[in-house]
Chains A and B, each alone.
Chain A
Amino acid sequence: MRRLFLMLLALLVGAAIWLPSLHFFFGRNMRNYVAEGTLPPKTRAIAARHLKFWQDKGARERELAQMRVINPEWDLMGRMFVVLALGNMACREPDKETEYLTVVDAIIEDTLRLEREKGVFYFLMPYAQDMPFVGKPPRSLFLDGEIALMVAARRLVEEKPDYKPLLDDRIETIIARMEKSRALAGESYPNECWLFCNTVAIAAIKLSDVLDGPRHEDFIRRWLDIAKRELLEPQTGLLYSTYTVDGGELEGPEGSSIWMAAHCLKLVDEEFARDQYQRAKKELGRSLLGFGYAREWPESYKGPIDVDSGPVIPGLGISPGSSGLALLGASAFHDTEFLRGLLTSLRFAGFPLERDGRLRFCASNQVGDAVVLYAMVFGPLWDKAQALEGKR
């Protein structure tokens, strides 16, 4: 009996020493990931994975096909995050701008081709066709917003004359559709307006104004007024993740939406964006033994688990989807401590695998890796937009 007691005591001491120390091994050398000027080595390796992905058609189609089985939206989102990442990388490394923009243009052209050939539902989940859209003909702000943001980001790095009328047309289509809603809300699915998609669209509209003159300031101001007045969940003060065209709540604040939304809102209302980020961190951001993670839902709100949150670990409420996008939030708002914790978790539970100078996280997929890359290089594109606006 004594031996058993001593064994248990020894194991307890071992756990008490090791478990709080484990994060030090995965939290070292953060400078290998987070870009301060040019790309650090691990980020360059993540970028190499994506550059190869978009240059190898066969492998790309195989991986996209597998991802689309789970969620076709991830195909488009992966494209958008890579374009945004490459845009930032081009700003950080002007000598490689041509290389990066070649891939950006290929992604945009391929996306537009698929939209033309396969239609508006190609990047949407099947339930998009279960009911009619409120707006006619059916258009998804998810598609329009992400395409507009990709085109705007490209033009912000370096102007491409062909893309100006393309962006103008897309922005006017977006605004015309959103204006039909009392809440200035654009549908991504039938009578389902996603905060993620609406804030991406707002960011695209803002970039369009920066590029071509402030034509939509009044629209953006009205959108923000309505958001602050009608779309905030009362208990947390966070924006709803989904609402109807009339602004009625469908789902409360959600991790896999709010981090991205706060980062987009930085372009139009820095104070509001920062407030949303800080609230999201308070409600969703967590740390356990030095490993950072994010919940999908606040503790005060019981929301569903869906394909975007990923499998949520019970008890702790760890959401891979929310945690991945929290990287972007932490990077966008210069939250070094939370970013370190999240990166530590990524290196522990993401199973990084580096081969031939290309790094991927095995527990993630192409869109997840694209979010990581974007989070690591985020900064110069938004800074450029704000600097250009300041000059006016």
Chain B
Amino acid sequence: MLTPSGLVARAVTGIVVYVILHLLGFRAYMTMLSGTSPTGEPCTYIDSVKMVAYLLSYLFAIAAAPILLIAAAVLALLQRKFISRDDH
């Protein structure tokens, strides 16, 4: 976790999860935010899970993942400057 590669791995994983959920059509379940069923049928528990999963993955991919990627680059520079070989 405390390494640049760890940050990159987490960011990329989150983005991949988001892309998969998006391609699976989970975005349509966001209509439940306004009380509208995406299927026209009454909403189920699984529909709610899909909505929450998409929402969280979206927020991670859009807001958190880029921060992690930038932080990975910054961390790499900082570690090169402040962490000596003996600290590894």
Contacts and interface: CB of A to CB of B under 8 A. Distances in A.
Contacts of B35: 66-67, 69-70, 365
Contacts of A19: 63, 67
Contacts of B67: 11, 14-15, 18-19
Given A2-B83, A14-B68, A17-B70, A7 B30 contact: no
Interface string A48-86: 000000000001001100110110000000000000000
Contact of B78 (A9, A15, A59, A67): A9
A161 B78 CA distance: 77
B70 A7 contact: no
B interface, over-half SS: helix
A364 B40 CA distance: 15
A22 B38 CA distance: 28
Given A13-B70, A18-B66, A22-B63, A6 B34 contact: no
A66 B83 contact: no
A309 to B, nearest CB: 13
Contacts of A59: 40
Contacts, number: 84
Most buried by B among A11, A19, A351, A362: A362
A10 B74 contact: yes
Interface residue tally of chain B, by bracket?
20 to 34
Interface string B49-78: 000000000100011001111111011001
A363 B40 contact: no
A368 B63 CA distance: 25
A41 B86 CA distance: 60
A28 B22 CA distance: 21
Given A13-B70, A14-B67, A14-B70, A362 B30 contact: yes
Interface residues of A, number: 30
Contact of A62 (B7, B29, B30, B40): B40
A382 B33 CA distance: 33
A353 interface: yes
Nearest to A6: B78
Given A2-B83, A67-B36, A351 B30 contact: yes
B72 A10 contact: yes
B2 A362 contact: no
A313 interface: no
A224 B53 CA distance: 51
A62 B39 CA distance: 10
Contact of B34 (A13, A15, A353, A364): A364
Give the most central of B31, B68, B82: most A CB within 10 Å: B31
30 contacts: A2-B87, A4-B2, A6-B79, A6-B83, A7-B2, A7-B75, A9-B78, A10-B72, A10-B75, A10-B78, A13-B71, A14-B70, A15-B67, A18-B63, A18-B66, A18-B70, A19-B63, A63-B36, A63-B40, A66-B35, A66-B37, A67-B35, A351-B30, A351-B58, A362-B27, A362-B30, A362-B31, A362-B33, A364-B34, A365-B35
Interface of B: 1-2, 7, 27-31, 33-38, 40, 58, 62-63, 66-72, 74-75, 78-79, 82-83, 87
The 6 A-B pairs with the shortest beta carbon distances in the complex, nearest first, are A14-B71, A362-B30, A14-B70, A10-B75, A14-B67, A10-B71
